[in-house]
């Protein structure tokens, strides 16, 4: 999982539509900014996010393990 920060002007029709679409996706979590909202790091922690380096290392390890017996 990767945490990104986007700025969307929801005062425009297209911005509002885009935000609604993003909120409708089950694999996207939208955190709105404000005093009572979570920071990016808090949101990432709540979602069990990992660093990109860790993700890539795990991906390589799993791919290597999966194809260990394959002979080319």
In tens digits, the chain (72 residues) has pLDDT values of 677 777 788 889 998 999 999 999 988 888 776 655 566 677 777 777 878 888 899 999 999 988 888 776
In a domain? residue 56? yes
Q: What angle do CA 48, 54, 60 make, to 5 degrees?
A: 125
In a domain? residue 72? no
In a domain? residue 20? yes
Q: What's the rounded Cα separation, in Å, for the pair 45 and 31? A: 13
Q: What's the rounded Cα separation, in Å, for the pair 59 and 61? A: 5
Q: From the DSSP assignment, how many helices (H) and strands (E) are in the chain?
A: 3, 0
Domain total of the chain: 1
In a domain? residue 43? yes
pTM over 0.85: no
The domain in which residue 57 lies consists of 13-66
Both structure tokens of 61: 């390890």
């Amino acid at each position: 999982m990767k945490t990104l920060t986007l700025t969307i002007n929801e005062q425009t029709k297209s911005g509002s539509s885009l935000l609604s679409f993003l909120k409708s996706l089950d694999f996207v979590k939208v955190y709105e900014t404000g005093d009572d909202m979570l920071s990016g790091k808090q949101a990432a922690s709540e979602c069990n996010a990992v660093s990109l380096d860790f993700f890539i290392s795990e991906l390589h390890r799993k791919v290597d393990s999966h194809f260990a017996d394959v002979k080319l």
